[in-house]
Structure 1
Amino acid sequence: MDKKQLTERDICTKYINPALQNAGWDMHSQIREEVSFTAGRIIVRGRLHTRGKRRRADYVLSYKKNLPIAIIEAKDNNHGLGDGMQQALAYSDALDAPFVFSSNGDGFLFHDRTGLFGQTETTLRLDEFPSPETLWELYCQHKGIHQSARQTVEQPYYDDGSGRTPRYYQTVAINRTVEAVARGQNRILLVMATGTGKTFTAFQIIWRLWKSKQKKRILFLADRNILVDQTKNNDFKPFGQAMTKVTNRTVDPSYEIYLSLYQAVTGSEDEQNIYKQFSPDFFDLVVIDECHRGSASVDSAWRQILDYFSAATHVGLTATPKETKEVSNIDYFGEPVYTYSLKQGIEDGFLAPYKVVRIDLDRDLQGWRPSKGQTDKHGELIDDRIYNQKDFDRTLVLEKRTQVVAQKVTEFLEQTDPYQKTIVFCEDIDHAERMRQALVNLNPERVKENRKYVMRITGDEQEGKAELDNFINPEERYPVIATTSKLMTTGVDAQTCKLIVLDQRIQSMTEFKQIIGRGTRINDDYNKHWFTILDFKKATELFADPAFDGDPVKVYEPNDDESVVPDDELYGFDSTTTELPCDQEPEDYEVTPDSKWESDDSSGCDTGGPGEGGGTSGGRTRYVVDNVEVTVIAERVQYLGPDGKLITESLKDFTRKKVKEQYATLTDFLKGWNEAERKQAIIEELAEQGVMWDDLIKDVSKKLGAEPDPFDVICHIVYDQPPLSRKERAEQVRKQNYFSKYEGASKQVLDALLDKYTDDGIEPIEDVKILTLAPFSQIGSLLELVDAFGGKPGYTEAVRDLEDELYRQTP
């Protein structure tokens, strides 16, 4: 058979697979074909969503399971030998496989990224494909893995038989870490966005190092009790009887895997430092979860634990490495061995995308100044100056501002889903309590259904804090709304959180990333695939900062002639003020019966209890004013574009630009639309490029008084044509007496398809499976209905003719 007539799959079967087998590769254990390694970016369409295309490699070759070392991209024989190379190199970047091949069945083009094989690209005959041993030897040389370390690197992953395997980026993170340890590196940093499975990644790292006996006694450190318990009961469960949780009592040295809360093993008194019951060389591996927090600071009490076990290998895990002039994860751990960002996670479809609703209030933008001699509601004389956004809810409380924010939150919930999990981030405990009260009063019916509809979840209040588990449990409806300040910024696995409200002035990029991370998890079972951010304090301007999704950069101590960059990381307060950060609350840290809370803040400030907020707190006066009107003066929606950045131009302008990149004129668009085998394919393609169909359809619907077809949305918004509604298009088809050439079941089917188009659009009528649903199933079975058109080709042609008629009446 002429090789030119073969499909790509035929080329794989007849030429590539035999070449691999002849080179000694095991087709079952070392070769995976058609490997989809991403989930496909989530594309939001109203309350529904679809997935973009997955990235798929034709071949991934591994010396051992989950140790990918080579990529092969196959093409049919009408392509050149190297036509798949650039695509394969892109896959190589993602999968961290240094040997890259492309083939059209005539041979292979080999690209060696290690520089050890010879020249960078070499043409190979089919019978010259390298053996597994050859590539593995080059791989180990490239990675600096000596013979003595190979047992560790080759140690298999944990596999419970359930089919759960690490995602591609987790595999890269695990392999790079294990390889670094095997080479003798003792300080290692992994940076992975919130929601990407850092704990599962840590488990597989520890498992392989433990099973290979590279590391025999391991300490896993966290600074939240809930994190330790979740880890022990979930991802770390396979360690079984070899694992224990350290308390502040006498330690048992008979275990091999130890999980501990920082606070459980440290204290202000030496006898409270339980970790000293271990000898300094007891552990040979310490894994530090959320290492950007307490252990990041050189002079923290928590760093003393790491210093005590300094002979051990230390692996730090974080989504947000802290890099300031005073605190540096990189100084301690070195450059990250791997970074997987929020942007990449959203692009791959493993993290939820978001949209931002930015709401500006008049007093925030214009400021407010008291009249001469004005006192607040408690009789305090208000200091005469201009108060603006950085003052509100800190030094000055405008009660009507709180009401406006709560009202906008309530309106959003009512318009979308009043039971979607919502976190409202406030300035401090007092603000969180006032926000709770305002939301309770604005949602009396919901609160009547269940008093826990709104709860303040802060570190100072046990009843609210006790509801944290219920809030993050997808199976528990209540609480729905949580008002908080610091407690829920990090380490809270709120899988179904769909709304994040920012009424907190955030100056810290670390804190901002952590807060956004509360919404990025996906939960298919509970239809959580995206989230919304309501921003009242311009915090989302940080999205535009290159540091938001870039590599961490160390901010070095400036010279005398340089301006000092303030360190706002810890408290998120405006450093130009002379106030102490007295509103820092001890809710960042878990308080348990077995632990003594300890922070690095030695200011001794009173955090101020909940209540009306009047009077002084920690040496600072907070004024409360109840008679100043506050109004919304601007509201803007920003969408996440396909490039991972917020679209700042209007949605219509963005849509025009994107569509005209592909269809410069109306004629071009009509040609593409009419020639498409599936109109839905064009709709999906434009959605992948960032066209927000749902919002555009809503906008045009307001003018029409009925819902338009996506076709009309594009014609109207991009090419200034008058739109038609779906109902109008369907009626025009009926006026043309289109059904006269059909009779019986076929006529009934087409009439029902037209009704379906009127109700739901073009997508459902392009899928033959619709014939299995009512009302079609009442006319006949799928086979009977297709036979009414003379078979599937006849049915497909009839649907195509129907579409032609629908779009014949084009402006």
Structure 2
Amino acid sequence: MSPEAKARQQIDEKLIHAGWAVQDVRNLNLGAALGVAVREYPTDSGPADYVLFAKRTAVGVIEAKRDEAGENLTATEVQTARYANATLKWCLHTAPLPFLFESTAQITRFTDGRDPLPRSREVFHFFRPEQLAHWLEQPDTLRRRLAANLPPLPMQNLRDCQVSAVTGLEASLARNRPRALVHMATGAGKTFTAVTSVYRLLKFAGAKRVLFLVDTRNLGKQAHQEFMAYTPPDDGRKFTELYNIQRLTSSHIDPQAQVCISTIQRLYSLLSGEAIDDSAEDTSLNELQQTAQQAKLVRYNAAVPVESFDFIIIDECHRSIYNLWKQVLDYFDAFLIGLTATPDKRTFGFFNENIVAEYTYEQSVADGVNVGYDVYVIETEITAKGAEVKAREWVDHRDRQTRKKRWAETEEDKPYTGRDLDRSVVNPSQIRQVVQAMKSAVEGQIFATRQETPKTLIFAKTDSHADDIIQIVREAYGQGNAFCKKITYKAEEDPDTTLASFRNDYHPRMAVTVDMIATGTDVKPLEVLLFLRDVRSRSYYEQMKGRGVRGLSYDDMRRVSNSADSAKTRFVLIDAVGVEKSCKTDSRPLEKKPGVPLKDLLQGVAIGHRDDDTVLSLANRLLRLAKQLDDKARARVEKASGGIPVGELGKALISALNPDAIVDAALASARARGVTRSEETLTADEIAAARAARVAAACAPFDKPELREAIQSARREREQLIDHINLDQVTFSGYSAQAEAQAGKTVHTFAEFIEQHKDEIAALAFFYQQPYQRRALTFEMIEELHEQLSRPPLMLTAERLWSAYARVQAAQVRGADHKRQLTDLVALVRFAIGLDAELKPFSEQVDKRFQEWIFRHNAQRGTAFTPEQTEWLRLMKDHIASSCSIARSDFDYAEFADKGGLQKAWAVFGSQIDGLMDEMNRELVA
């Protein structure tokens, strides 16, 4: 068979799969089906390879080429256009035909001649005849509607960055750019922006259906909630009252749904027809090991045609769409729109460097949308150096899954490193020392004025590690079960309910997670992130940090943290494992299989990884494991596998990849279809299909989660050694060098602000005037100064400034653990411009000056104030400490009114009262 004949045969098969009846021109029967593809149809420009008829009307043409010419398909577009503009024999039609295809069967390109400036694009498969007929009935195409400019965007309820993102995206779509990237910082409202765009594309661009793609089920739930809560600015009804939304949980796409929300794992299952374990949707693809050779074998599925979606919005697009999963996106003929807070080089490359909006984390902090952060480091000896459990020591051995313990002697010396902690060895002392150091730092230094523990999220390595952390946290803080909870997919309590409580209620104060809320999940009250696991992916690490960046108003902070005295202004990242220093990569490394955990190999095979490396690596692990298991462990695995020994599971995987057996299977399959084949005439698709069938059969047992669980728990390394012998100690606890540098920058920014505005702001001018020119410093002046400092981009509160000075000039700073008052700005300004050599709370300064003033006043008068007068003076002093000054009107406040107010004060001091107030305002504040 010639290359041209092979290509035509495969094109015929693809057309049939898409619902076309394929006919030779001599057997023409346009009534045979809704769509008919006629080979070698005569035109006045020669016979066209295929002419497509939909509902008996000629609608398109296909130019077929041999596969070797695939890279030059665009060169044949002129030929295709010539046939499209030709006169068809026997046929009345309006030239030109609108739908033009060039195809080698392996590669197919499509042009819609009705688009503005028609441009060809590669498509995975031919469209259904129903789709072409529907398009032909439309007055204009989607791309023409997009190019015609959508109505102006109403800007109410939208931030500037969101307006920029929506308008930038629509401008890109109008230019027919197939891929667009929206880079918006965590917390800037990416999902709300996406919903706004989806609404406009459905209403004004006439989009048929939009896919919102996520990589975990939790993110799908969150996106669904955002759609349900959205009310468009030009319609009082909710989004869900206007359009149907389907969150995909099965293999069926609702034909009435205009928005479909799905994980990429679920979508692959739907396209391939291979069932997946529901738990696969609970693990971020960022957590699964990948290799360049792991390829998803996506084939055409008539139930989910390539034209199913007009737009695909890919949430957190930095994670799930490269290498392993890219074919899922290649399948659909749709515009691709990426959303991410942490793009890397792959992201920019995948989206053709078409960045339609860019709003960085630094910009979001400057705008007050997000908050900055400090890094606090805790180092312990065992974390850094590891330890060793000597032979013949009696210690606990614990099963990782059941957590059942047995007390036994160690058979040999067991050295371990920090990387082994909480995997093969658990050292409770190491966890306890970190937790105690965190508690001391937060309560005594980081958030010293808080009465309750700030909302804290702890990142654990495994579910078992999370359980250990929870027990030690509750013990260290002397709290009950409600104080600290686990939020993972394996938690016994409903994780969504616990997450909602963590977000909105007083309890829990702390949560421990592995990866369920590591990315994309909002918990705005978070003020402390403790890393007890390392992360090697830069983008994943940035996403994990992003859990703390969200700003929160003062009122909302007070709802969950009663003693918060301001809006959320920062969060603190506590690094207990060196995560800030560890080497990061722009993407997860393409690791060799020896480094891939058995758990990941099993999970990958269950999801559908069928590349040689994965299958052979799993086979080798199983064969090795078969030699290590005792009889009881072998029996447990056989029971879970339906009687297949673990060694035979491994051998089946190796056998499935036997090249000779694959060829034999392909030949048998051809014979069963009535096709004569020899080894030489087998097509690549037939061999691939035979391989896929053999591997799928060998991998089928691993679909069962109980078998995967049995294999993992049967490993010799299943037990963790509980090291109670080696006690850990903290070797360093303090802010990181980065945090110190940031504190220095904060102090410098404050000094620059004072210098630039010393003549404009009354409170600053007060300090730069000569003493005889000074007028009273009022609380209103301090409020004006505070307002200027706390606005973006400075975001300088008294608490943040005090903390910065405490780090940069610790020897000269007192009262870091005091609750900040607004009047502490007075002390900060005086210290910054050099009036005071020591920074201490304003109230302490007022107390000291008051004592000196009383002493001088009594000495000058010769007689001391009476006890009653002194009590009133102390009340007046306390008021000055909190308000900078005192006047007659202030005697209406409760502390004075309860003692008789201004009338009583007049009775105590007589006409001296006004003079004393003026004197105190000068002496105690100046």
CA contact (8 A) 2:534 2:579 kept: yes
CA contact (8 A) 2:484 2:511 kept: yes
Q: Please state how far the C-alpha of 1:249 moved relative to its aligned partner.
A: 4.7
Change (3 A) 1:403 1:178: same
Where 2:470 maps in the other structure, the secondary structure is: helix
Give the alignment partner of residue 500 of structure 2, picking from 470, 481, 499: 470
Q: Please state how far the C-alpha of 1:772 moved relative to its aligned partner.
A: 6.9
Which amino acid in 2 is paired with 1:334? E
Change (3 A) 1:694 1:638: farther
Mapping 1:766-805, distance limit 5 Å = 773-775=893-895, 803-805=921-923
Q: Deviations over 1:356-390 (max 9, x none)?
A: 321121223344355688786444556666x5433
Mapping 1:178-193, distance limit 5 Å = 178-193=170-185
CA contact (8 A) 1:152 1:214 kept: no
Please give the TM-score of this superposition, normalised by the length of structure 2.
0.53
Give the alignment partner of residue 204 of structure 2, picking from 199, 212, 226: 212
Mapping 1:624-703, distance limit 5 Å = 624-637=722-735, 646-648=739-741, 655=747, 659=751, 671=768, 678=781, 688=794, 692-695=800-803, 700-701=813-814
Where 2:572 maps in the other structure, the secondary structure is: strand
Give the alignment partner of residue 532 of structure 1, picking from 553, 568, 572: 572
Q: Deviations over 1:240-276 (max 9, x none)?
A: 2422213315333133233333344432883358986
Structure 2 gaps, min length 5: 1-142, 232-237, 276-299, 398-408, 445-449, 558-566, 623-704, 759-763, 862-869, 906-912
Q: Please state how far the C-alpha of 1:753 moved relative to its aligned partner.
A: 5.1
Where 1:337 maps in the other structure, the secondary structure is: strand
Which amino acid in 2 is paired with 1:243? N
Change (3 A) 1:277 1:619: farther
Q: Deviations over 1:639-670 (max 9, x none)?
A: 9xxxxx7333876x9748964896699x9995
Where 1:320 maps in the other structure, the secondary structure is: coil
1:156 corresponding residue in structure 2: 153
Q: Please state how far the C-alpha of 1:348 moved relative to its aligned partner.
A: 1.0
Q: Please state how far the C-alpha of 1:733 moved relative to its aligned partner.
A: 4.3
- Would you say 1:314 and 2:336 are equivalent positions? yes
CA contact (8 A) 2:502 2:508 kept: no
Give the alignment partner of residue 285 of structure 1, picking from 311, 318, 343: 311
Change (3 A) 1:656 1:330: closer
CA contact (8 A) 2:457 2:530 kept: yes
Change (3 A) 1:799 1:520: farther
1:726 corresponding residue in structure 2: 846
Give the alignment partner of residue 429 of structure 2, picking from 389, 400, 403: 400
Which amino acid in 1 is paired with 2:488? T
Which amino acid in 2 is paired with 1:361? T
Give the alignment partner of residue 757 of structure 1, picking from 880, 883, 889: 880
Q: Deviations over 1:699-726 (max 9, x none)?
A: 7445999999555566668857367632
Q: Please state how far the C-alpha of 1:428 moved relative to its aligned partner.
A: 1.9
2:4 corresponding residue in structure 1: none
Cα distance in 1 for partners of 2:483, 2:901 equals 47
CA contact (8 A) 1:361 1:633 kept: yes
Where 1:539 maps in the other structure, the secondary structure is: coil
Mapping 1:110-149, distance limit 5 Å = none
Mapping 1:307-456, distance limit 5 Å = 307-309=330-332, 311-323=333-345, 328=347, 330-332=349-351, 334-369=353-388, 377-378=396-397, 379-380=409-410, 387-411=416-440, 416-444=450-478, 446-447=479-480, 451-456=481-486
Q: Please state how far the C-alpha of 1:349 moved relative to its aligned partner.
A: 0.5
Change (3 A) 1:269 1:242: closer
Q: Please state how far the C-alpha of 1:483 moved relative to its aligned partner.
A: 1.3
Give the alignment partner of residue 176 of structure 1, picking from 168, 174, 178: 168
Cα distance in 2 for partners of 1:484, 1:767 equals 55
CA contact (8 A) 1:615 1:622 kept: no
1:232 corresponding residue in structure 2: 227
Please give the TM-score of this superposition, normalised by the length of structure 1.
0.60
Query: RMSD of the alignment, in Å?
Result: 5.1
Change (3 A) 1:469 1:399: closer
Cα distance in 2 for partners of 1:672, 1:608 equals 79
Cα distance in 2 for partners of 1:703, 1:257 equals 53
Where 1:432 maps in the other structure, the secondary structure is: helix
CA contact (8 A) 2:880 2:921 kept: no
CA contact (8 A) 1:364 1:388 kept: yes
Cα distance in 2 for partners of 1:706, 1:486 equals 35
Mapping 1:48-59, distance limit 5 Å = none
Mapping 1:479-628, distance limit 5 Å = 479-524=508-553, 525-527=555-557, 529=568, 530-541=570-581, 569-570=587-588, 579-581=595-597, 623-628=721-726
Change (3 A) 1:384 1:801: same
Change (3 A) 1:421 1:277: farther
Change (3 A) 1:218 1:394: same
Q: Please state how far the C-alpha of 1:624 moved relative to its aligned partner.
A: 3.6
Q: Please state how far the C-alpha of 1:173 moved relative to its aligned partner.
A: 1.0
Which amino acid in 1 is paired with 2:306? P
Where 2:457 maps in the other structure, the secondary structure is: strand
Cα distance in 2 for partners of 1:769, 1:204 equals 52
Change (3 A) 1:735 1:682: farther
Change (3 A) 1:382 1:510: farther
Where 1:277 maps in the other structure, the secondary structure is: coil
Q: Please state how far the C-alpha of 1:402 moved relative to its aligned partner.
A: 1.2
- Would you say 1:247 and 2:249 are equivalent positions? yes
1:103 corresponding residue in structure 2: none
Which amino acid in 2 is paired with 1:262? I
Which amino acid in 2 is paired with 1:156? L
Cα distance in 2 for partners of 1:682, 1:623 equals 58
Q: Deviations over 1:71-95 (max 9, x none)?
A: xxxxxxxxxxxxxxxxxxxxxxxxx
Cα distance in 2 for partners of 1:262, 1:172 equals 28
Which amino acid in 2 is paired with 1:186? P
Q: Percent identity?
A: 20
Cα distance in 2 for partners of 1:769, 1:355 equals 43
Change (3 A) 1:199 1:685: closer
Cα distance in 2 for partners of 1:306, 1:731 equals 75
CA contact (8 A) 1:283 1:312 kept: yes
Higher helix proportion (structure 1 or 2): 2
Where 2:260 maps in the other structure, the secondary structure is: strand
Change (3 A) 1:633 1:668: farther
CA contact (8 A) 2:251 2:270 kept: no
1:12 corresponding residue in structure 2: none
Q: Please state how far the C-alpha of 1:353 moved relative to its aligned partner.
A: 2.6
Which amino acid in 2 is paired with 1:340? Y
- Would you say 1:298 and 2:298 are equivalent positions? no
